[in-house]
Amino acid sequence: MRGEYKVVGGKLVAVDLEIEDERLARVSVSGDFFLEPDDALIDINAALTGMPVDASVERLAQTVGASLDDSVAMIGFSPEAVGVAVRRALGKATGWHDHVFDVIPAVTMHPAMHVALDEVIGREVAAGVRPPTLRFWDWDSPLVVIGSFQSIANEVDPEGAARHGIDVVRRVSGGGAMFMEPGNCITYSLVVPASLVEGLSFERSYSFLDEWVIEALAKVGVTAHFVPLNDIASEQGKIGGAAQKRFAAGAVLHHVTMAYDIDADKMLEVLRIGREKMSDKGTTSANKRVDPMRSQTGMTRGAIVDSFTATFAGRYATTPSTYSDAELAEAAQLVETKFATPEWTHRVP
C-alpha cells in the first residue's frame, strides 16, 4: 500500500507499507525531502512499524517525533506530513487525485441563495450524494455577508447600509465580512470530503486548499502567496481571504473572496473598518488594503474566472455540473426559514 502527501511549500513524502494483524509492517518512508542525519530515516520507519492501522495522524506524528532526538533536522517535511502519507496509504485519508470534482460555473442569483447553497451542497458532499464541488458565485444585488461569529453591530453601519440599499446576511462559516456588489469581487466555494484534509491543522488546511488558486493567479499575471491564517496577497497587498466550515457529517466548506473592483469609499461607509484593523494589516487606506485584481491583471472579471476554472481542471479530474432543481428549492427554503430571518442574522448582536 502506498500513500503520498505533498507539503504545501515543501517536499513530497511517500510511504509504502503492508498490514499484518491490523498493524503497520515493512514501512518505508521516502521522498525528495532533506533529513539530517540520514540514518534518522531508519528510526522513522522503525517507529511506524507496529503502529495500529487505526492510529490517527496526530498519534502517528507524535510517535515519529518521539523517535527523533533534538539533533535531527527534518527539512521540507514534518512528522505530521508522514502521518498524512500513512493515512493515505491506508485509504483513511484522501488526496486530490482520489476524487473527481463537479465544477459549477457562475450562476446569477441573490447572494443569500449562494450562502444557502453552501449549506445544501455541504450536506450533500458529506452524505456522498454529490461529488466534491467547486462552484463560482454571481449575484444580482449588493449585500454584506458577515461571518458566522461576527457581531452585526460591530461590523455594519446601519445608516451607511440603508443609504446604499445594502442588506446583510450571515453565512455558516467564520471569518470576516464580505462587501459584495455585482461584479466587484470573485467568489468561489469549494466543498470537499473531510478525508481530503484529514490530519491537517486548520492553518495547514487553508494553505492546502488554496494551493491551486495561487497557480491560477500566476496564470493571470498575479504573483500571489498565502498569508496565515486565511489571506491571499500579492506584492501590492491583500487580494482576498478564505473562510471555512467543517460539517460534522464529514465535509469541509472552503470559500474564497478576492477583490476585483471594489468601491472602497462605499465599503467604508457600510463596514465599520476601524483604524486598529487597518493598521494590523500594515496599511492606512482601504484602497490599498483591498487591492483590486482588475488593476493587476487588466482582464475582465469573467476572463479571470474562466482562467481559474481552466487551471483547476488542468490540475484535477473534473466534470461540468449545474444545480439541480431540488438543490435550488432547498436553498430557497433555507433563505426563507434561516438566512433571511432576524433570528439568524442577529444571532450575534
Tell whether 151 and 284 lie within a shared domain. Answer: yes
Work out the number of other CB atoms within 10 angstroms of the CB of residue 88.
25
| Greater pLDDT, 17 or 9 | 17
Of 257, 246, 255, nearest in space to 200 by CA: 246
Q: What is the pLDDT of residue 14?
A: 97
Q: What is the pLDDT of residue 277?
A: 54
d(CA 266, CA 160): 8
Q: Residue 215: give its domain's CATH number.
A: 3.30.930.10
Cα angle, residue 134 at apex, residues 131 and 140 outer, rounded to 5°: 130
DSSP letter (8 states) at residue 233: E
3-state secondary structure of 102: strand
Last residue of a domain, one of 70, 89, 108: 89
Say if residue 282's pLDDT is above 80. no
Say if residue 347's pLDDT is above 60. yes
All three cell numbers of 278: 487597518
4: which strand partners?
Answer: 14
Q: What is the pLDDT of residue 210?
A: 94
Tell whether 158 and 218 lie within a shared domain. Answer: yes
Phi-psi region of 22 (alpha: psi -120 to 50; beta: other; left: phi over 0): left
Query: What residues make up the domain containing 28?
Result: 2-89
Least confident of 5-9, 54-58, 245-249, 283-287: 283-287
Contact criterion met (CB below 8 Å) for 57 and 3 = no
Tell whether 153 and 267 lie within a shared domain. Answer: yes
Q: What is the pLDDT of residue 273?
A: 72
3-state secondary structure of 256: strand
Least confident of 166-180, 282-296, 301-315: 282-296
Last residue of a domain, one of 89, 105, 134: 89
Tell whether 157 and 276 lie within a shared domain. Answer: yes
What is the number of domains present in the chain?
2
Least confident of 22-26, 322-326, 345-349: 345-349
Tell whether 223 and 316 lie within a shared domain. Answer: yes
Chain-centre distance for alpha carbon 196: 11
Of 72, 12, 86, nearest in space to 40 by CA: 72
pLDDT band, very low/low/confident/very high, at 201 (cuts 50, 70, 90): confident
Strand extents, DSSP E, 119-276: 133-139, 143-146, 167-170, 178-180, 185-193, 224-227, 231-234, 237-247, 251-259
Q: What does the pLDDT look like over 85-103, one tens digit per residue?
A: 999 999 999 999 999 999 9
d(CA 286, CA 267): 8
pLDDT band, very low/low/confident/very high, at 276 (cuts 50, 70, 90): very low
Tell whether 24 and 123 lie within a shared domain. Answer: no
The helix (run of H) or strand (run of E) holding residue 320 is: strand 317-320
Q: What is the pLDDT of residue 203?
A: 85
Contact criterion met (CB below 8 Å) for 111 and 139 = yes
Q: What is the pLDDT of residue 280?
A: 52
Cα angle, residue 53 at apex, residues 57 and 211 outer, rounded to 5°: 35
Last residue of a domain, one of 89, 115, 149: 89
Say if residue 3's pLDDT is above 90. yes
Say if residue 291's pLDDT is above 60. no
Tell whether 280 and 196 lie within a shared domain. Answer: yes
Q: What is the pLDDT of residue 275?
A: 38
* C-alpha dist (Å) from residue 210 to 29, 38, 72, 315: 26, 32, 30, 13
Rounded to an integer, the average pLDDT of 27-51 is: 97
Rounded to an integer, the average pLDDT of 145-149 is: 96
Q: What is the pLDDT of residue 283?
A: 46
Say if residue 274's pLDDT is above 70. no
Half-sphere exposure of 217 (CA within 13 A, CB side): 26
Tell whether 122 and 66 lie within a shared domain. Answer: no
Let me know if 252 is exposed, middle or buried by CB neighbors in 10 A (0-12, 13-18, 19+): buried
Tell whether 128 and 179 lie within a shared domain. Answer: yes
The reported pTM is 0.88
Q: What is the pLDDT of residue 128?
A: 95
d(CA 85, CA 80): 9
Q: What is the pLDDT of residue 264?
A: 85
Q: What does the pLDDT look like over 228-273, one tens digit per residue?
A: 889 999 988 889 999 999 998 999 999 999 999 998 889 989 998 7
Tell whether 83 and 183 lie within a shared domain. Answer: no
d(CA 82, CA 199): 10
Q: Residue 71: give its domain's CATH number.
A: 3.30.390.50
Tell whether 74 and 103 lie within a shared domain. Answer: no
Tell whether 169 and 72 lie within a shared domain. Answer: no
Q: What is the pLDDT of residue 138?
A: 97
